[in-house]
Structures are given as structure tokens and as C-alpha cells.
Structure 1
Amino acid sequence: MMDLNHLIHNFTLITLVALSVTTWAVIVVKLIQLKKARKMGEAFIEGFWKAKDLTDAARYSKTAEQSAQQRIAYQHFATLSELNDDVHQDLNHTWSRQDLLERVLTKHVKNERHIFEKGLALLASIGNSAPFIGLFGTVFGIIGALSAIAASGSASMDVVAGPIGAALVATGIGIAVAVPAVLAYNFFIRKTKILGSELDDFATDLVNFAQKTGFQVTTITPVSTVKVEHQTVTAKGVAA
């Protein structure tokens, strides 16, 4: 029985180490993802609003480097182009132009948020469960320690302190794993909300801009390059 308790205690420590590695891997990946998303988003927004007219803006939305804002702008112009086509005979197109455009953009903003939120549920789960996993290992560690003390027939401090202290290590490691996970989760949730709000604002600007133009957009033909403020962007062959 003592060997089983020792085995469970060690297995718990290995599990906590694996969770810690997973936590830091997620943290690194999310930091890179959010930094890249912000950099690309800012570059796209700057180029988008520098476009000379609606046609250039639509072309730029097709040829710019992929970012959350670019994908939303592309869907914006794709929806407007679809609305300019012949009347569709389905329920989806019984909505007004503004309502349909808002529905499409809202859907795509939610999709982009889901991309940013990937991995956060794992951080939350690790943060919530790691202390209890550590406590679970500690319980079996203490049971094994007490069994060893009973077998030795001595209850002196020297005999008790070592095994009990070793058993409590699992609880300490559990807390050490949980703290970075919880802090990272809160940090990334805040960053994701900020990015989501920026996407909402951009989508609102697109709808307001479409209102000014009567929800009309010129059909855009594919181009090889688009020049915006002396910066040439290579087309990636995205169909209208």
C-alpha cells in the first residue's frame, strides 16, 4: 500500500510538471498571436483609411496581408457586392441592406473573437484544477509517510518532518502551476476584450460608411498589385 501511495504522489508531481509546461507553451503562443494580430491590424487600418476611394479600399481589402480587420473588411465588401447583384429569392435576403450587413459583420467579429480566445479555456482549467491536483498528491504522500513512520516505530521530529515535508511539496507545486495560469488567463481575457472592441468599432465604421454610399459598391475585378500611399501590396488571388 505504501508503494501505491508513493506512486500516486509521484504521478501527481509529473502531472503538475506537464501542466506547467503546457501553461507556459500556451502563454508564449498567445503572446505571439496577439502581438502579431495587433501589428497586422494596425497596419491594415492605416492602409485602409488611406485608400483614395471605395474602389481602392475594396481592392486593398482583398490584397492586404491577412488580419482580423482585413477579413472583416473583405466580408463587408463581399456582402455589398452580393446585395448589388440580382434580387435573391431566399429568406436571408428579405432583410434590409443595413440589417443584413450588420448581421454578417457581427457574425465575423464573433468568429475573430473565438480565434483570439482559443487556449484560454485550457489556462482557466489548469488554474482551477492545479491546486486540487497538488492537494490530491499531498494526501497520498502523507498517507505513505504516516505508514512509513508507523512501520519504523518512531514518532520523533526527525522521522516525521522529512516524509511529511516531502508530501507537502505537491501542494506547493500545484499552487505554483495555478498562479501563472490564472494571471495569464486574466491578462489574455483583457487583451481579447480590447481587440474585440476594436473589431466592433471597425465594423460599425464600415456600416456607417456603407450608409453614406447607399450600400452600393462597384464590382471589383482582381488586380495584381494595389498601391496605397507608395506601398505596394502583392495580390494573393482572393476572388471577389
Structure 2
Amino acid sequence: MNAVSLVVQAGLVAKGVLLILLSFSLMSWTLIFMKFRIFRRGHQESARFLQIFRSAKNLSAVFEESKRFAKSPIVSVFQEGYQELSRLVKGNQGPANQWPAAHESKAAAADMPIYQEPLELVSRTLQYARMKEVAQQERNLIFLATTGNVAPFVGLFGTVWGIMDAFSSIGQAGSANLGAVAPGVAEALITTAAGLGAAIPAVIAYNYFLNRVRRQATEMELFGLEFLTLAERILARSR
């Protein structure tokens, strides 16, 4: 008796359980492939953007280039920070015109108390953008966690029902021979396997993507610090 025969010969309850588990599995795999593509493209575009950002001499040109990397979470943080920084230096020699040299950092540090409040605004903007991106990346991951937690219990329900059916068959047949208990036990085993088959990939994928989210959150935080250093110099020059 193969798996297909077990499913065809299963009772109505077992088929309902299998249908639910199949739905969980299909939605999980769809989400897994979708998230994998999003994370892979975001990582590639972030790497390309950082090369441009660290080698550029004109911040406004970097902003224009950043529009080509819409899937990068770091780009979203940069754009929010750039727009806030541009508003703060509006009417002066803004970030779109000059990129301060590294040797000017000491002079900027001397003026830091004067620009502490504007710099705090930029910092809050970067933090908001980073939190928004993390929330976006975590979107729908809860479904994978739910599948990993719920699917085994749904399969267990089918298992219990199959065992109950096996005992019912024993009572009807008046004998505990293999022919009487085999159908119920088979239903129990197939639903158990289906529950694990839906849960295991979901749990693995959830842990993997959660780790990717944390890694990208760290990368965005490091970029935010890098951008704040640059913003401090620009605000010092725009006095």
C-alpha cells in the first residue's frame, strides 16, 4: 500500500487534515521562495550601493544613483537620512554640493555642541528608517513560525483520529487482527508524516530568515553610524 493509496482510502477527517496541511505547506514554500529572492536582491543591491557611496565625492549624485537600488534596505535608510540632512542645511552649502574631506573631522568635532540638536534629528530619522525596514523584512515571517508550531498538532489530531478509527474497527470486527486496524493506523501515520513535512521546512526557513533580518539590521545600524559621521561634518560646514 503506497502513500497515494493511503490518502485515497483515508476517511473524511483524515483527508480534511491532509488538505489543511497541504495548504500550509504550499503557502509556506511560496513565502520561502519569495523571501529568498527579496533578501538575495536586497543584499546584492546594498553591496553595489555601498561601493558607490564610499567612493563618491558628491552626495547628491549618490542620492540620484540610489534610486536604481530600490530593493536595498540600506538605500532606504540613506534616502531618509539624506532628505532630513538636506532640510537641515537648506539655504546653505548643502550636502548635494560638497563632500567634506576626512581632515576636516577635527574642526567639525569642535563645533559639535552647536549642531548636536540637528544631528539628533538626523539620528532619529535614520533610526526610524531602520526600524521601518526591519518591520518590512519581518513581514509575513510570522506565518512560517505559525506553520512550524501548528502543523505538527494538526497532524497529531489526524493521528489521534486514525487511532480512534482503528479501535472502532477492532470493536466492529471483534478481533484485533491486522486487517481491522491497518486502515486506521495508516491514516494516523500519514497525517503525522504530513504534519512534520509541513512544519520542518517552515521552522528552518523562519530561523534562516530571522537571522538574515538581524544581520541586515546590524548592517543598517553600521551604515547609520557612518552616515552620522558624514552628517556631522556637513552640518559643521553649513554654519
Normalised-by-shorter TM-score class: 0.7 to 0.9
Amino-acid identity (%): 30
Pairwise CA distance, 1:113: 1.0
- 111-120 or 151-160, larger mean C-alpha shift: 151-160
Q: Distance in 1 between matches of 2:169 and 2:59?
A: 79
Deviations 1:87-128, CA, capped at 9 Å, x for gaps: xxxxxxxx8111111111001001111121122100000001
> Secondary structure in 2 aligned to 1:213?
helix
Q: What are the superposed Cα offsets for residues 39-80 of structure 1, whole Å, 9 maximum, x if unpaired?
A: 11111111122212334334434x433122222211111101
Matched, 1:158 2:179: yes
Q: Could you tell me how far apart the structure 1 residues matched to 2:144 and 2:52 are?
A: 35
2:40 matches 1:8: no
In 2, the alpha carbon distance for the partners of 1:211 and 1:57 equals 18
1:130 aligned to which of 146, 151, 171: 151
What residue ranges of structure 1 are gaps of 5+ in the alignment? 87-94, 218-240
| Displacement after TM superposition at 1:175 (Å) | 1.3
C-alpha contact 1:80 1:215 (8 A) present in aligned 2 = no
> Match for 1:178 among 186, 191, 199?
199
TM-score (norm 1): 0.78
RMSD: 2.0
Measure how far apart 1:159 and its partner are: 2.3
Provide closer, same or farther for how the CA distance between residues 166 and 60 of structure 1 changes in structure 2, counting only shifts above 3 A.
closer
Q: Match for 1:65 among 60, 66, 69?
A: 69
**Number of aligned residues:** 204
Please report the TM-score for the alignment, with normalisation by the length of structure 2: 0.78
Contiguous gaps of at least 5 residues in structure 2: 1-9, 92-115
Moved over 6 A (4+): none
2:139 matched to which residue of 1? 118
Whole-angstrom CA distance in 2 between matches of 1:98 and 1:206: 11
- Choose 136-145 or 12-21, whichever is displaced more: 136-145
Q: CA separation of 1:216/1:141 partners in 2, compared to 1, >3 Å: closer, same or farther?
A: farther
The aligned runs of 1:183-194 (5 Å cut-off) are 183-194=204-215
- Could you tell me how far apart the structure 2 residues matched to 1:53 and 1:141 are? 69
**Structure 1 residues 15-43: Cα deviation after superposition (integer angstroms, max 9, x where no partner):** 01111111111111111010010011111
Residues 1:82 and 2:103 are matched in the alignment: no
Secondary structure of the residue aligned to 1:65 is coil
Q: What's the CA shift for 1:216?
A: 6.0
Secondary structure of the corresponding residue to residue 214 of structure 1 = helix
Q: State the alpha-carbon separation in 1 of the partners of residues 79 and 212 from structure 2.
A: 24
Q: What secondary structure does 2:69 align onto? A: coil
Is the helix fraction higher in 1 or 2?
2
Which letter does structure 2 place at the counterpart of 1:180? Answer: P
CA distance in 2, matches of 1:197, 1:129: 31
